[in-house]
Structure 1
Amino acid sequence: MRYDLEVRWAKLIATLFGVGKLRPAPGTWGSAVAVGLGWGLLTWGGPLLLFAGCAVVFITGLWAAGLHGHSTGRDDAPEVVIDEVVGQWLTMLPLPFLAGGMGWEGLVLAFALFRLFDITKPWPIRALDRRLKGGVGAMVDDAFAGTVAGLLVLALGLTLGLPSL
């Protein structure tokens, strides 16, 4: 009984309360919801709150994605989108430090770059995706993709300036 309840909670969290069931492209839906939630955290508490949120969601996601994978027999199933939340939020972390970064241009840039890195999985993201399994694999490759995309957001924002995009 207790295990069934744990599995239900893990499924809810791993699928971001059902967002991962949306089709097509559940990862894109998860990222879109993450942008809205991340914008709220940044607006309300700044980058420190968003970073704390990343840590909490990452740790919770390790458990939820791992248990979901164990219970279904599928590692990093398409409906698991909690990893997209962490990756998207890491991509958004530089936005408050850039002029105009919190405008729609910065949010669209962060969304597009994270989806690009998450979908194409260039090296070394692909290597992490192939090597790591379970909840760790689901979470780490997206966290790394978000970190790389966030560094690119920062570089583009500093060199080009977001308001001119």
Structure 2
Amino acid sequence: MRKFLPKFAYLLATSAGAGLSPLWPGTGGAAVGVVLAAILIPASPWLVVVAYMAVFAVGVWASSHVVSRTGTEDPQIVVIDETFGTAATLSMLPLDPVWWAAGFLAFRFFDVVKPWPIRVMHDKVRGGLGIMLDDAAAAVFAGASLLLLNDLIQRLS
């Protein structure tokens, strides 16, 4: 068990290895989030909420483990936060490829740029919780922005 848990934490934190990509690991983790959101399409809303709560909790645990092992505050290989954030964003949007592409891009924008208050969370909350929390906030910003855009489009149609 002593050897299994660290390897399992790395597997989860890297979103099954997506974080090990030498090119844009965060985007690779976000792509895993598209798969997660697609898998959850037929699930009931309650199951979706429970699934995202579980991914968030597991992400905090796995990220914390990698942070403590590497001594790095936000290791680049940890991408479970991008997986969670992208999936959460897409789950808020209409089931349409255009909206999902916009959701992917909007999440990546808020995740990379980190406007206030996302930046505050990123800077002030440490460890695995901080890693996951700023991406949860980015998902809320991305989803809310696109839902407002969708509402505006509906009203103008």
TM-score w.r.t. length of structure 2: 0.92
Which of 44, 59, 62 aligns to 1:61? It is 59
**Residue identity opposite 1:74 in structure 2:** T
Structure 1 unaligned regions, length at least 5: 96-100
Shift in Å, 1:27: 0.6
1:5 is aligned to 2:4: yes
Shift in Å, 1:32: 1.2
CA distance in 1, matches of 2:23, 2:58: 25
Aligned to 1:159: 152
Aligned to 1:87: 85
Identity over aligned pairs, percent: 37
Structure 2 unaligned regions, length at least 5: none
TM-superposition CA deviations, 1:2-51 (whole Å, max 9, x none): 43322111101000111111131111111112112202212x21543332
Q: How many pairs are equivalent?
A: 155
Structure 1 range deviating more: 33-42 or 9-18: 33-42
CA distance in 2, matches of 1:34, 1:14: 13
Tell me, yes or no, if the aligned pair for 1:91 and 1:153 is still in contact at 8 Å: no
Aligned to 1:35: 34
1:17 is aligned to 2:10: no
**Residue identity opposite 1:3 in structure 2:** R
TM-superposition CA deviations, 1:108-140 (whole Å, max 9, x none): 011010000000011111111011111011110
CA distance in 2, matches of 1:30, 1:89: 10
1:102 is aligned to 2:95: yes
Structure 1 range deviating more: 118-127 or 30-39: 30-39
RMSD, aligned α-carbons: 1.5
Tell me, yes or no, if the aligned pair for 1:118 and 1:142 is still in contact at 8 Å: yes
